[in-house]
Amino acid sequence: MQHIISIGDFDRDEIDNLLNHAAQIEKKKYDANALAGKILAVLFFEPSTRTRMSFESAMARLGGTSLSVGSVEACSMAKGETLADTVRVVSGYADAIVIRHPKEGAARLAAEFSTVPVINAGDGAGQHPSQTLLDLYTIRQSMPVEGIEVALIGDLRYGRTAHSLASALSLYNARLHTISPKGLELPATLAAQLKEQGMEITEHDSIEDVIGEVDVLYVTRIQRERFPDSASYFNVASSYRITPELLAGAKKRLIVLHPLPRIDEIDPRVDESPHARYFEQSRNGVPVRMAMLMQVMK
């Protein structure tokens, strides 16, 4: 039984194979009944548009069915049931579970109690492996990932998409440039681990410092829901913004990615720019998640 809890569950070949499969799927080369008769349980205890709907869309396109719980209030966890018991029960109703939860480590715990494969769709400030796979897929559509220069911008402390992506990029000898408001830097343990794996990471004060050098600008939202209080959020809110004027200094092949939702960190005028790839990126969630679902359920 294969769970997908962290991007660290994959080596580079496994990632490349999965993304090659997703590319075949995107070309419509797949069996639309591959998962007929299979059921995916969607346990989302945090808001989601893209991740949840693209998993459900992926399941439907493969002929399978999804069952979902959209909040703690809507299920027996509101009565005090533990996550462990909920997962034990739900794994009797489905062939795989995709879970999103506000606590780091929740998906790993779910996997311990589940009798079917578990996919982590975001555990607090931890990991978001399916997002990383579609991020890499989107980069590959523009350039080979090997040796690229990537700027990670924004909330690198609480942003799980940044954590998973940074780990994956270390497999491709990418160089990382980080730009974040004070206090929202990449966690020291993760940075140390990446450096130990040989990754070069450079911290910068402003995006202007790196805009002419990088191949990917990976922009993230400040994760307001993970702040202890609203004052500490408003201290850092709106402290960075990608504009067409900033992109005027970029390399021709630079792409701008964002896991979305965006708040105000990318000027809507950037949407028209040839550098903008974030809406393609969110569309890529479907073929990539189709490949993931086939991998764990076939």
Binding site for ligand NCD (CB under 6 A): 50-51, 122, 128, 131, 160-161, 221, 259-260
Q: Please list, residue by residue across 236-249, b when 16 or more beta carbons sit within 10 angstroms of its beta carbon and e when fewer do.
A: beeebebeeebbee
Cα separation values, 35 from 38, 252, 258, Å: 5, 41, 30
Closest approach, Cβ 226 to ligand NCD, in A, equals: 10
Assigned token pair, 153: 């911008």
Spatial separation of the C-alpha atoms in residues 211 and 205, rounded to whole Å? 12
Min dist CB 125 to ligand NCD, Å, is 9
CA angle 132, 138, 141 (to 5 degrees): 145
Residue closer to ligand NCD (CB basis): 51 or 138: 51
State the DSSP code for 83: H
CB of 212 to ligand NCD, least distance (A): 27
Nearer to ligand NCD, 30 or 181 (CB): 181
Q: For residues 112 and 136, is the Cβ–Cβ distance under 8 A?
A: no
Conformation bin of residue 96: beta by default, left when phi > 0, alpha when psi is -120 to 50: beta
Residue 3, Cβ density class (10 Å: 0-12 exposed, 13-18 middle, ≥19 buried) = buried
CB of 82 or CB of 230, closer to ligand NCD: 230
Nearer to ligand NCD, 259 or 287 (CB): 259
What is the DSSP secondary-structure string of 159-217? -HHHHHHHHHHHTTT-EEEEE--TT-SPPHHHHHHHHHTT--EEE-S-GGGTTTT-SEE
d(CA 49, CA 195) in angstroms, rounded, equals 34
Least CB distance from residue 221 to ligand NCD, whole Å?
4
Query: Of 51 and 86, which has the nearer Cβ to ligand NCD?
Result: 51
Nearest-Å Rg of the Cα atoms of the chain is 19
Q: How far is the CB of 241 from ligand NCD (least distance, A)?
A: 16
Least distance in angstroms from the C-beta of 115 to ligand NCD: 26
C-beta of 122 vs 129, nearer to ligand NCD: 122
Q: Minimum Å distance from CB 131 to ligand NCD?
A: 5
CB nearer ligand NCD, residue 117 or residue 122: 122
